[in-house]
Amino acid sequence: MKNKKMNWNRIKLNMKNVYQLTITIGCLFCFSGCALHDGITNYFNSTDHYLNFKQDQRVMYEPGAEEFAATAASELPLAIKKVESRQYSTFSDKIMIYVTKTPESFKKMTGRGVSAMMYRKSIFLSPKLLEKPDTIKLYIAHELSHLHLHQHLGDYAYLGIPSWFLEGLAAFVSDGGGAENVTDDEVMESIRSGNHFIPFENSGLRDLFRPRYASYFKIRHKFKHHLFYRQCMLFVSFLENEHPAQFKKFIIDLKNGIDFSDSFRISFEADAMTKWNEFKTKIIES
């Protein structure tokens, strides 16, 4: 009887570990616009072949990517300062940046074909960024915004933050990282025409399997993901500009573990949809 009980406890412990791992992998992919099944196998790829960048031990790089690593290292201090200032606290854990040599090696590590990604509690950078060197600092700050919140919240609580706010905050903090291919005027026109996202407040396990990004909202544009990010960014910017003290309280409450919906309603004395309608009305009347 004692052995059976011990075995059952071991099974429950293993199931809990599997569940936690699924949440960890899933939430990282969910808020990078990727479905859960795309990322599980890549999660276990080794980073042992990455080399330390001597001038900044927070930066690792694949052989052959040292020049890219030097650029990333030079942009890192200011990006960290920007995120800590605009998100009202320091990072609570170490920061690690992995610089890949080729887009193929980036995809092999992350399962994605994007330019940058917060993944495995670190940041991965693709040499796609070298096509537009001026955007490197933007993307580093964007991904640092995600990492900063993730460090403070942990896997499960991070999963509870809606994608529109995560991406809007990251684009806002980074001065447009991930949204640089569209203009504010394009965003305002898209909102006037009804081609926009809806600021939902609840996020969770369902978003692991169907992330709510541009495609979910049927946003139409050549650069639909950039349009989605910039729409989110301008809404977050509106909240911060119109209600700076409340916005700060909201971010701090989130990091203290208060539910997104509760934090939003307590801080702004309204739900997200009400504030969105105020934002939308301001654009329509402009």
What local confidence, expressed as pLDDT, does residue 205 receive? Answer: 78
Given a cut of 80, whether residue 22 has pLDDT beyond it is no
Given a cut of 60, whether residue 186 has pLDDT beyond it is yes
Q: Per the domain annotation, does 6 fall within a domain?
A: no
Q: Per the domain annotation, does 253 fall within a domain?
A: yes
**In the predicted model, what is the mean pLDDT of residues 149-170?**
95
> What is the extent of the structural domain holding 56?
13-284
Higher local confidence (pLDDT), 2 or 142: 142
What local confidence, expressed as pLDDT, does residue 80 receive? Answer: 99
Q: Per the domain annotation, does 24 fall within a domain?
A: yes
SS3 content of the chain, % helix, strand, coil (to 5): 60, 5, 35
What local confidence, expressed as pLDDT, does residue 34 receive? Answer: 42
Q: How many domains does the chain have?
A: 1
**In the predicted model, what is the mean pLDDT of residues 239-248?**
99
Q: Per the domain annotation, does 232 fall within a domain?
A: yes
- For residue 51, the cross-strand partners are 61
Given a cut of 90, whether residue 177 has pLDDT beyond it is yes
Q: Per the domain annotation, does 3 fall within a domain?
A: no
| pTM, rounded to two decimals | 0.88
Distance CA 140, CA 156 (A): 24
pLDDT band at 203 (very low <50, low <70, confident <90, very high): confident
What local confidence, expressed as pLDDT, does residue 43 receive? Answer: 80
Tell me the HSE value of 142 on the side-chain side, using a 13 A CA sphere.
26
| Helix ranges restricted to H, 39-135 | 66-86, 103-110
What local confidence, expressed as pLDDT, does residue 3 receive? Answer: 53
Instruction: Report whether 170 contacts 142 (CB < 8 A).
Output: yes
CATH number at residue 192: 1.10.390
Q: Per the domain annotation, does 110 fall within a domain?
A: yes
